[in-house]
Amino acid sequence: MTVATSRIPERKSKTVANVAIEEFAISGNAVRGFQGEVERYGKFLCESRFDVMTNFAAQQWATDIALPLLDKIPVKKVFVPTGFSGLYLQEYRDYFDKMKSWMKKYDMNVFLSNTYRDIQFARENSIAKIQTIPNGASEQEFLETRPVQIREKLGIPADHFIILHVGSHTSLKGHAEAIEIFRRARLRNVTLLMIGEISGSGCGRLCHIKKWLFSDSPLRSRNHKRIVISSLPRPNTIEAYKEADLFLFPSNIECSPLVLFECMASKTPFLTTDTGNAVEIVGWSKSGLVLPTRIDAKGYSRADIAGSATMLEDIFFNEILRKEMALSGFQAWKEGFTWGIIARKYEEMYKNLIES
């Protein structure tokens, strides 16, 4: 197994868990343009003697450079589009017109959902080689037993109901909506915990400003509502999942949200916008509810704030429903959505392709 990926200064080893890493100083995609070692990467793809090549995610350089070279790459080829987030954007029109023929050159196209826009695109354009393999969550992370000390670490009172949101501050993960839904909901003794990486170009600074304004309100002394924004190491994030009472995810754009599978694995009921295949995941797991959502012209999901606040209030006061959802999701995850189960599905597919 070799992973071809971006070169980053922090990476200390070219081998991780017996997986070789081939680094390339490249950025961009087919629409924005490429910068860096494009020719070296193309040569690597065409001259390496692997059995299978998997391109994971469209609209990024590692896939987009490969697409025009597919006829020259002498291996079995697998494409996992992960959603086609730019499908409705004007600047990607030519890209997706060419995608209709590119996908036919793959030996298999794998989709994380049976209903989302990427698999619908394939069906509408007569792409015959299609398989669905869903996302999942890690048994090693979520079945591990260790003390949960996230309340103490972040200063969250022991009697507070924790509403969790996990996602990088990209301005598309629903941070602003989550804060406004939380602000409007008539709740008491509750903390909204938002965990995610903060970058200079995202919504992190604005989220902190909204948190300060929220905290300064005189209402806080009466309803004891708090917002905590933090960037935590992965083990602490797992602790937060396990300690949370509810997950709130009014995201704008997804393919198949990993965080919802992590909710299932941690016995955390969730509220989510109709984004990616969230509705499908709710059907699989019975562990979440879909917030009232409007899909705009660009394909972005927009939560109805007032309706979402009401839904949040309803589930906050319905402990029986939350417990039923938590147990249903956990059982569904164990039976069909662990990484062990997902890995075996990919392994079987690769084996069948090689033997054919």
Render pLDDT for 116-129 as a digit per residue (tens, 0 to 9). 999 999 999 999 99
The listed CATH number (3.30.70.2860, 3.40.50.720, 3.40.50.2000, 3.40.50.300) that belongs to domain 139-339: 3.40.50.2000
Render pLDDT for 268-324 as a digit per residue (tens, 0 to 9). 999 999 999 999 999 999 999 999 999 999 999 999 999 999 999 999 999 999 999
Alpha-carbon gap, residue 22 to 33, rounded angstroms? 22
pLDDT at 138: 97
The domain segmentation of the chain, as residue ranges, is 2-132, 139-339
Alpha-carbon gap, residue 74 to 51, rounded angstroms? 9
As given in the structure block, the two tokens for residue 24 are 């390339």
Closest CA relative to residue 99, chosen from 87, 89, 91, 111: 87
Alpha-carbon gap, residue 155 to 133, rounded angstroms? 40
114-124: burial string, b at 16+ Cβ within 10 Å, e else: eebbbbebbee
Q: Do 2-132 and 139-339 have matching folds?
A: yes
As given in the structure block, the two tokens for residue 45 are 């793809």
Phi, psi of 80 (to 5 degrees): -120, 95
What pTM was estimated for this model as a whole?
0.92
Amino acid at 309: A
Cα atoms in the 13 Å half-sphere on the side-chain side of 78: 21
Do residues 44 and 72 make contact, with C-beta atoms less than 8 angstroms apart?
no
Q: Is the dihedral of CA 270, 271, 277, 283 positive or negative?
A: positive
Which helix (H) or strand (E) segment is 248 a member of?
strand 246-249
Within 10 angstroms of residue 128's Cβ, the number of other Cβ atoms is: 9
Alpha-carbon gap, residue 50 to 353, rounded angstroms? 13
- The dotted CATH code for 2-132 is 3.40.50.2000
Render pLDDT for 150-205 as a digit per residue (tens, 0 to 9). 999 999 999 999 999 999 999 999 999 999 999 999 999 999 999 999 877 899 99
pLDDT at 242: 96
Do residues 239 and 149 make contact, with C-beta atoms less than 8 angstroms apart?
yes
pLDDT at 201: 82
Render pLDDT for 62-118 as a digit per residue (tens, 0 to 9). 999 999 999 999 999 999 999 999 999 999 999 999 999 999 999 999 999 999 999
As given in the structure block, the two tokens for residue 308 are 């979402």
Residue 221 pLDDT level (bands cut at 50, 70, 90) = confident
